[in-house]
Amino acid sequence: METESPHEEFKVKRKRSLQSPDLASPISHCICVTSPEGKTIINPRYEILSTIYDQPASPSRILLVKDTETDAILILKQLLKCKILSHAQNISALREIEIHQSIRHLNIVTFYDSGETEDAYNLLLEYLPGYLYFTDRIEVNNKPFNLKPDGGVQKLKSFSYDVIQGLEYLHSQGIIHLDLKPGNLLLYTDVDEDEYPLVKICDFGLSRKVDETGYALIEKKCGTDKYVPPEVNDGARISPAADMWSLGLLLHNLAVGYTPHAMKWTPGQPIPFHKRHWPKYEGTGLKEFIEACLRLKPEERITSRDALLHPWLSFN
């Protein structure tokens, strides 16, 4: 039994969200400067504190930096040229910057500045302290939210709401994220400090802009296996509906700790919601929402705009 109405929760959440400082007071940043030798270098104003992500196979390196002019903690995402091995990867890196710098929304990691140095393409971004929350919980520990201390339909609803708001904004701008997964969702605060921390979407490394027909052409199949929609293949024309598929799998995973593939589900067949795992979501609309996201034909999936009106997210 829920004791508080979701309406109240969302009112509180919205009030807090509107006060989010990163959108209210942008500070002028300048990631690159010219050295006395005439080289473009990272502005020494940004002091590197630590590396928080650096994988051998990935061109991305994520560094925690301090802006010594304001003491603000920020992220420097570097796309290392020594690991960008093909023309296609280079185009991808430039596309990531072009797309990320064109968007600004409460549920999207804020982009401050970008610049190219000899060894990397550099993006200066907002730092989200709760960056390991979804990765640890879902990818590492396989724990669903219905276990304590993270239990709570309202919490999952709040997280869903944030992700869908972010997606709705992206889709309204003609952008398909194309890599929606736990690792690309970050929390605005550490989870202990705030019952329903704001969720932000990061990583526009695979994102595409649709053309005037509403579709984007992808040369190669891409994405993270478990979350890749069926229509994403070599040479496919894809639409924002691709993100709704990944969202359906993501919510299934957040709700019960596994995706339907673990129940031998074949896309296009009814989703086998295992009775034992779903009782707390009965009557919330979540299962129906997931089904509406996981329709095989992209044009039959719920859109991000309609998602905001779905009973799963209704305020009463």
Helix (H) or strand (E) segment spanning residue 79: strand 72-80
Answer whether 60's CB lies under 8 Å from 205's CB.
yes
Q: Taking CB under 5 A as the rule, does residue 92 contact Mg ion?
A: no
Nearer to Mg ion, 167 or 302 (CB): 167
C-alpha pair distances (Å), 265 with each of 24, 242, 248, 294, 295: 45, 19, 14, 11, 13
Binding mask 161-190 for ligand ATP (x = CB under 6 A): ----------------------xx-x----
Q: Is 179 a catalytic residue?
A: yes
215 binds, among ligand ATP, Mg ion, none (CB under 5 to 8 A by kind): none
Which residue in the list 22, 162, 179, 243 is annotated as catalytic? 179
Nearer to ligand ATP, 62 or 254 (CB): 62
- Closest contact distance (angstroms) between CB of 184 and ligand ATP is 5
Q: Taking CB under 5 A as the rule, does residue 184 contact Mg ion?
A: yes
> Is residue 162 packed enough to be buried (19+ CB in 10 Å), middle (13-18) or exposed (0-12)?
buried
Q: Taking CB under 6 A as the rule, does residue 312 contact ligand ATP?
A: no
Taking the CB of residue 24, how many other CB atoms lie within 10 A of it?
8
Q: In whole angstroms, what is the distance from residue 289 CA to residue 304 CA?
A: 11
Contacts (Cβ under 8 Å, ≥6 apart) of 305: 168, 171, 172
Q: Which residues bind ligand ATP (CB under 6 A)?
A: 52-53, 55, 58, 60, 62, 75, 77, 109, 125-128, 131-132, 135, 183-184, 186, 202-203, 205
Q: Which residues bind Mg ion (CB under 5 A)?
A: 184, 203
